[in-house]
Amino acid sequence: MATHEKVDVVIVGAGASGSVYAAVLAQAGKKVVVLEQGPDWQLKDLISSDFWGRRIKPASGPFLLEGKNPFGYVYQAGWGVGGAALHYFANFPRLLPNDFKIKSEHGRALDWPISYDDVAPYYDKVADDIGVSGDAKAEEKWRPAGKPYPMPPMKTFRHGEVWLKGFESVGIRMVPAAVGMNSTEFKGRAACIYDGWCHVGCPIGALANPIVTYLADAKKAGAEVRARSTVTRVLTNPQGTKAVGVEYYDDKKERQVQEATVVVLAAWSAQIPRLLLNSATDKHPKGLANSSGLVGKYMMAHFASGTWALFDEDVQNHMGTTGAQFMSYDRYGKTSHQGAFGSSFITAGSALKTSDLAGIPNARVDLFGADLHAFMQRAKRGLTRIGAFGEELPNIENRIELASDKDEFGMPFARIVHSFDQDAVALWNANFEEGLKIARATGAKESWSGRGNMPTIHLMGGTIMGTAAGNSVVNSYGQTHEVPNLYVAGPGIFPTGGASNPTYTIFALSLRGAEQLASKWSTVAG
């Protein structure tokens, strides 16, 4: 075992949230080490092929997936430098003001300890830092005004445009989607070429993944990224009042200790509760930062209702990006659909290959043989899809807890127990119904709902933020209530998830937390 020279900050996880902390703190002159369990991916490893693309994703995880709607861990998780954000679709909607106060406005779920106005300046800063394309003015029909995006909207294609009259028929206003992709060259990074391979990573750097954005800034400012380093515990002083570093296993599976003045856990919503629970000591018998018993509780997912339509024309469905061309918050009100509760966020126009989209078949799964062949002949040029993401409310029964099985480092597996409630199912159904109405109004030859098992997308919660240790694990900056020099970053700190894809908010909250940490360094570091 080796103990490494003490640094100012050790960050666990080199994905979306960890990269922001690394950049801000390294630029503030701190000595930063980022420990990442997976490989040190480079742009040249991102090969535009579904088969090759599997290499950059986890093959499995140390989780037992349980409940009525087991969480789809492998599809959602990241593995390696860049995290899941290395190969995300970069849809960048934001949470809206109504997300921050559901409890006050509807008596349901939880309020955030902050409001939209606290996060809004950071949405603007992130857009300028990493590049967002979109039309902010057009979005401002649904949210308070902010800065324009640094790039104009992305190009649109026929497979998105064919849906517009359908949306109009039900009164849904679509605007250009906000995406973390370059519609023009941005800070020396290339403009998108619309070849639709974002889901296996963008080899030209047009997608705002961490390795070409915050992590590049962090390295320039002196941060060290140590790949193939799997963290198993946060270490604390004998009094249990301070984190003193982390234990990890290197590429040779040898135990190492990295001492640090501040520890930031940015290992995504699944791994962070597992790490905190596995860091129990006599001073923290239920796990670190867990006197409330809330570590691993209130796990949430989004679900999506996809509607397909087949056109008898070449709609260039292979072109574009895997993000959306158009989006709408017109069903974002919590009571937009009668008999259902929660927000919906609508997207249209992602590129579709004839093969699959990272494991989701772009075909009718009920067809075989000659029928499937005939369908694919038409689908290869005429298949299109829209989607509505739905909000799942926090439920304390949806949880992560340690299991008795152990991984190769002797660390207990965890179980993720997840079931959707009736509200979620009702919202899922309502969005399918409306999707079909929209599809029929497009004049498409055929349309159908993409029903299967109810999907679980974007894991959130598990280390939620709140006003005090009694109702939450961290404060609004991600600082744990119980151990002041231990921070948590990422979607785990969301107390509710809205219906918007989370990563724009993850970047914004991480920037807010990291800037606070840098400015309050002497108080936090002690």
Question: What residues line the site for ligand SF4 (CB under 6 A)?
Answer: 181, 192-198, 202, 204, 206-207, 321
Minimal distance in Å, beta carbon 206 to ligand SF4? 4
* By CB under 6 A, residue 21 contacts ligand FAD: no
Residue 348 or residue 426: which is nearer to ligand FAD going by CB? Answer: 348
Q: Which is nearer to ligand FAD, 172 or 246 (CB)?
A: 246
Q: For residue 18, what is the enclosing H or E element? A: helix 16-27
Query: Cβ contacts of residue 314 below 8 Å, gap of 6+?
Result: 158, 381, 382
| Residue 135 beta carbon to ligand SF4: minimum distance, rounded to whole angstroms | 18
CA distances from 197 to 41, 168, 178 (A): 17, 30, 18
Applying CB under 6 A, the site for ligand FAD has a residue count of 40
Q: How far apart are CA 351 and CA 355, in angstroms?
A: 12
Distance of closest approach, residue 100 Cβ to ligand SF4, in angstroms: 31
Within 316-355, the residues that bind ligand FAD by CB under 6 A are 323
Which of ligand FAD, ligand SF4, none does residue 20 bind to, with CB < 5 to 8 Å depending on kind?
none
The tokens for 188 are: 């020396």
Contact 326, 156 (CB under 8 A): yes
> Which of the ranges 22-30, 81-89, 368-376, 511-519 carries the binding residues for ligand FAD, by CB under 6 A?
81-89
For 16, 141, 237, 484, the CA distances from 281, given in Å and listed in that order, are 30, 51, 10, 17
Query: Residue 501's binding partner, choosing from ligand SF4, ligand FAD, none, with beta-carbon cut-off 5 to 8 A by kind?
Result: ligand FAD
> How far is it, in rounded angstroms, from Cα 415 to Cα 407?
13
Min dist. Cβ of residue 42 to ligand SF4 (A): 15
Which of 9, 10, 18, 214 contacts ligand FAD by CB under 6 A?
Answer: 18
Between 503-519 and 116-130, two packed helices, what is the crossing angle to 10 degrees? 100
Residue 175 forms beta bridges with which residues?
Answer: 327
Closest CB to ligand FAD among residues 273, 484: 273
The Cα-based distances of 250 to 99, 226, 246, 358 in angstroms read 41, 9, 12, 29
CB of 210 vs ligand SF4, minimal distance in Å = 15
Select the binding partner of residue 17 from ligand SF4, ligand FAD, none (C-beta < 5 to 8 A, by kind).
ligand FAD
Please, are residues 394 and 307 in contact by the beta-carbon 8 Å criterion? no
Tell me which of ligand FAD, ligand SF4, none is bound by residue 502, counting a contact when its beta carbon lies within the kind-specific cut-off of 5 to 8 angstroms: ligand FAD
Q: How far is CA 109 from CA 60, 167, 342, 392, 426, in A?
A: 32, 30, 10, 10, 17
φ, ψ for residue 297, nearest 5 deg: -100, 165
Name the residues that contact ligand FAD, by CB under 6 A.
Answer: 12-18, 35-38, 76, 78-80, 83-85, 87-91, 199, 230-231, 266-268, 271, 323, 358, 458, 490-491, 501-504, 506
